[in-house]
Amino acid sequence: VAVTAKAVDVDSLAPPTTRVAPRVPEGAPVVPPQDLASRPRRNRRSATVREAFRETILTPSNFIYPIFVHDGEEDIPIDSMPGQSRLGWKTGMIDKVREARAAGVNQVVVFPKTPDNLKTETAEECFNPNGLAQRSISLLKDTFPDLEVYTDVALDPYNTMGHDGMVRSDGVVMNDETVYYLCKQAVSQARAGADVISPSDMMDGRVGAIREALDAEGFTNVAIMSYTAKYNSAYYGPFRDALASAPRPGSEDWKIPKDKAEYQMDPANYRECLREAALDEAEGADIMMVKPAGAYLDIIRALKDSTTLPISAYQVSGEYSMLKAASAAGYLNEKDAVLESLIAIKRAGADLTLSYYAVDAAKWLDEM
């Protein structure tokens, strides 16, 4: 028996509504729906859905704020890093950290601007118990007992030659002798109250030696965040301006390497980071860092996939200054570009991000 199809009144298949059907642009073609079982855009159709499915959540607890300190009262702006200053260790440092904590950033790393008259070829000032770094660490912990204080372990801020280690007359950076002083530096920082020691020098064997030195002095709870994959990058220029720590010109009598390629990693290398990571983990690192961050997202992911240790990444001074310059010129929306860059770093696998934007980013996140 033939059955005649009846016309269906579509409006009768749903309750009455005040919603108005959306209009399409005039001239839009009328086409049948594609035969698609899966349409990924369904999971991006509204702000609520997008937020529910968001895989990477950025929070102020992910940030470590790097601060530059100097042995003076007034803050000194850093021309190549707009918005950043060498902070007076007694005043500006405390004010800035208080601001950071109010925004939800409770982790800082301290970088001292050592006076030139205290710099030597062998950098003994690095372990002066009353040095600028040690005084700054102690004051921070006295003022904010629950603040997580990270330090920098390397000789370049204290070395007249501007290198992370002692330099021989033939231009070779001395490894084991440098490590001996790095251990003394690390212990002096732990005595001052540091929570996390961060060797940035890239000398061989320094993580194990520092772990042994800390444990021997009773600092078994002081952690080590190793600069595991620190590349010989062009992005460090503004930082070296801030600390006046760039390598110095050598002479016929005493050769000084023009860069740090002898001990920092080649930007062309990927597999080498896995070797460095295996060594650092075996020697007792608690956190492993990639530096810089933005141009090395593949390295962050490589370390993340190779270990169960937390991974940190350093959005370095050059990355910060580029974002600042592009934003000042009107080429980028600063807030959107910065937050996108920080999300990318975390998405790549970083549990912690060191960023000069940490405080601003925390405030922007609070506004969202």
Question: Annotated active-site positions, please?
Answer: 230, 291
List, in order, residues 6 or more apart from 92 with CB less than 8 Å away: 74, 75, 85
**Of the candidates 295, 294, 290, 259, the residue with the CA atom closest to the CA atom of residue 276:** 290
Where does residue 81 rank: exposed (0-12), middle (13-18), buried (19+ CB within 10 A)?
Answer: buried
Q: Are 158 and 123 spatial neighbours (Cβ–Cβ below 8 Å)?
A: yes
In single-letter form, the type of residue at position 137 comes to: I
What is the rounded distance in angstroms from the CA atom of residue 162 to the CA atom of residue 38? 58
Count Cβ atoms below 10 Å from residue 336 Cβ, excluding itself: 11
Q: Are 175 and 203 spatial neighbours (Cβ–Cβ below 8 Å)?
A: yes
Q: For residue 224, list its beta bridge partners.
A: 197
Strands 85-88 and 76-77: antiparallel
